[in-house]
A and B are shown apart, each in its own frame.
Chain A
Amino acid sequence: MKYLSEYRDERIARALAAEIAERTTSPWVLMEICGGQTHTIMRYGLDELLPPGLELVHGPGCPVCVTPLETIDAAIELALRPEVILVSYGDMLRVPGSRSDLFRAKAQGAEVRVVYSPMEALKIAREHPSRKVVFLAIGFETTAPANAMAAWQAKQEGLTNFSLLVSHVLVPPAIRGLLASPANRVQAFIAPGHVCTIMGCAEYEALVRDFNVPIVVGGFEPIDLLQAVLMLVKQLEAGEAKLENQYVRSVSYQGNLPAQQVMAQVFEVADQKWRGLGSIPGSGLRLREEFAAYDATRVFSLHDISVEEPAECISAQVLQGLKKPTDCSAFGTRCTPESPMGAPMVSSEGACAAYYRYRRRAVAS
């Protein structure tokens, strides 16, 4: 494929892997933040190409995985109301809440529609003036501008039957949380290229400075990831800690300023609960007061419920890179993509699902 096959080239991959092996003299633990990167690593078996001492652990960058139970439960509750059309990205439908999921709600008669863009949700609202259209606005900084744009546009048009159920998470505060934890074992990070395409690199510079940790902004193709690993290994071996950008074809230092502008206009930073990780200060977004009329929690007076997550799976450790999915006793037996125990088994970008789908017995054998 044009512009893509060169990032999947076997010869380039082998050459990069050989250089990584040559440069690696001691064991290192690297974390890729984004679930899309985890997916590529598993899909292409990149871990097979790395030298034994070099360990890749998988970060919390799967928005589907970290969306809290409370948000899923609220989405299901709203979807089951006869006047509501709940609109969502496809991945969210299978994610279990505390009792059910949106697929089951759909089977019970709820109207749940899957879209690729929140603008489609706006269109549904225009076409169904007698219904209340709720968009499940989840994701990292990547989906936030489009979701913000939907709220902004709805306000411009004066739509009164459209609202957002917001559960937005931000990457840098989560990395800060991981680094501040005494249990942390990650020595360098591959930062998420798509998030940085929007937000730029400045926030990551602060992390490098505060924790003296190498960070490379990386892309999502196999060659991108191998290059990012090589850049990190060079820094680690040289005892350096810098911010570098591997994904230069997409990421600029300042990021996408108009996107940041619309985000800032519509959203403000707030504390946010992450599924499996708990609350992290300043790690989420909520709608500003001016957009209260588009906030589903206010429109429908949803109570601030808190759901306890029963102690069963080890997704919290997996999301922090403390354990591998295969370390879990339920992995592949009691916990599979068909009956997931934890969110990382649900989305194809979740670390457990990626292991299950591409690696499970190859790793075991």
Chain B
Amino acid sequence: MAERVHTIVELSCPTPLRANDTVLLGHGSGGKLSAELIRAVFLPALNNPVLSRLDDQAIVNVNGQRLAFTTDSFVVKPLFFPGGDIGSLAVHGTINDLAMGGAKPLFLSAAFIIEEGFAMDQLRRIVASMQQAASAADVQIVTGDTKVVEKGKGDGLFINTTGIGIVADGVDLSADRARPGDKVLLSGSIGEHGIAILAQREGLEFETTIESDSAALHTLVTEMLRVGRGIRCMRDPTRGGLSSALNEIAEQSKVGIALEERAIPVREEVASACELLGLDPMYVANEGKLIAIVEPASADAVLHAMRRHPLGSRAQLIGTVNAANPPLVTMRTTLGTTRIVDMLSGDQLPRIC
């Protein structure tokens, strides 16, 4: 026995499997594999100065008017979930991508890829929900497209929305603008959308229903921009969660970010669900939250403006941008120790024990 265990020290492990021969689900997770896909496939083929900023929206200049322009596809399953459905999500998601550039959203397009056999009354419900979300947000859906694919060749319904908005003079938000000393603000508690979807999908029931936080954030952004020009960049931490959004900012601005774990709000039922499922709320998707990097002198005023808005009532200062170890995101844990907060790698999988 002793000899056997001793000799096995010489054995080791297999050669790496590079993730570049086929597209995997993880390439759509919003984490590291997604970033790799963009770097390895899309950027080399399509690169230009606007695209290479890798913000949630492109800001282009048309006859002296700055326009924000963005697109997003929605493949959520199930189509209906507590707190929303694929239709309202498709409207909110694109509005938010525009708003993160400081733009006032104006017009959306909507494209539907529908699987043959999809129930007409479900489609009606979804379209009505889109209209409701759009009018509540004061944007119009002004153009669209429909394609139907054979049964079995789609998963019910996919929606793509594209949006344009205008950016006011003097507003210049971009993920490469964070500087050491800046403050990191978060508009509210994290993880609700991802857990709402997962709970629905897995048939999990908790004492209270966890609702998606899906919401249009542009009016919150307007209030924030009103109090000052000290906002450097904003992101809505959707797929990949808070950790991935912060890692993207750290990387693009070539800075470090130090977070305070205690300051990050997580609702009790979301925290419990995450414990049960072996997930970390830092990596779980949000659809109605934003992070803002704000210069130190404006941080208080912006934070208070956020808290006055219903979608920012639980806003918190969660960390500070620094010059140490860029582009590392670190966190002071509840025990006062320090750990790394890495970007989501592949899909966040449940642990088994």
Interface locus among A22-30, A256-264, A338-346: A338-346
Q: Which residues 7-39 of B sit at the A interface, judged by CB distance below 8 A? A: 7-19, 21-26, 32-33, 36
Are A45 and B349 in contact (CB-based, < 8 A)? Answer: no
Interface membership of A298, Cβ < 8 A: no
Output the nearest chain A residue to B1 by Cβ-Cβ distance. A180
For residue B345, which residue of chain A has the nearest CB?
A337
Least CB distance, B189 to chain A, in whole angstroms: 14
Bound Cα distance from A181 to B2, whole angstroms = 5
Asked if residues A90 and B1 are in contact (CB atoms below 8 Å), the reply is no
Of all chain B residues, the one with the shortest Cβ separation from A277 is B8
Given contacts A91-B350, A116-B202, A183-B9, contact A339 B18 (CB under 8 A): yes
- In the assembled complex, the Cα of A362 lies from the Cα of B258 at a distance in Å of 12
Q: What is the 8 Å Cβ interface bit string for chain A, positions 16-55, against chain B (1 contact, 0 not)?
A: 0000000000000000001110010011111011000000
Q: Give bound CA distance, A4 to B23, whole Å.
A: 40
Residues of A within 8 A of B21 (CB): 104
Is B310's CB within 8 Å of the partner chain A?
Answer: no
Let me know if B4 is at the binding interface, CB within 8 A: yes
Given that A276-B13, A337-B345 are known contacts, is A361 also in contact with B5, CB under 8 Å in the complex?
Answer: no
Residues on A with C-beta less than 8 A from B26 are: 103
Q: Is the pair B12, A309 in contact by a Cβ cutoff of 8 Å?
A: yes
**B268 and A48 contact, CB distance less than 8 A:** no
Contact between A361 and B340, CB atoms less than 8 A apart? yes
Interface size bracket, B side: 35 or more
Q: Which residues of chain A are near B340, meaning CB under 8 Å?
A: 357-362
Do most interface residues of chain B lie in helix, strand or loop, or is the interface mixed?
Answer: loop
A98 touches B14 (CB 8 A): yes
A141-152 interface bits toward B, Cβ cutoff 8 Å, 1 = contact, 0 = none: 011000000000
Q: B238 in the interface, Cβ–Cβ < 8 Å?
A: no
Question: Does A180 contact B12, Cβ atoms closer than 8 Å?
Answer: no
Contact assessment for A93 and B345 in the assembled complex, using a CB-CB cutoff below 8 Å: no
Cβ of B317 within 8 Å of any chain A Cβ, yes or no, is no
Interface string of A127-159 (1 = CB under 8 A from B): 000000000000110110000000000000000
Q: Can you give 29 A-B contacts (C-beta < 8 A)?
A: A4-B275, A8-B334, A34-B353, A35-B353, A42-B339, A44-B335, A45-B339, A46-B335, A48-B337, A63-B353, A89-B352, A91-B350, A107-B23, A107-B24, A108-B22, A177-B4, A180-B1, A180-B2, A181-B6, A278-B5, A309-B12, A312-B14, A316-B11, A316-B12, A338-B19, A349-B353, A356-B342, A358-B342, A361-B328
Known: A104-B24, A177-B5, A362-B339. 10 other contacts (CB 8 A): A49-B335, A64-B352, A93-B349, A104-B22, A143-B353, A276-B8, A317-B9, A339-B16, A339-B19, A349-B353
* 7 residue pairs, one from A and one from B, having the closest CB atoms: A45-B337, A342-B13, A278-B8, A90-B349, A181-B5, A89-B352, A337-B345
Enumerate chain B interface residues (CB-CB to A < 8 A).
Answer: 1-2, 4-19, 21-26, 32-33, 36, 202, 268, 271-272, 275, 277, 325, 328, 330, 333-340, 342, 345-346, 349-353
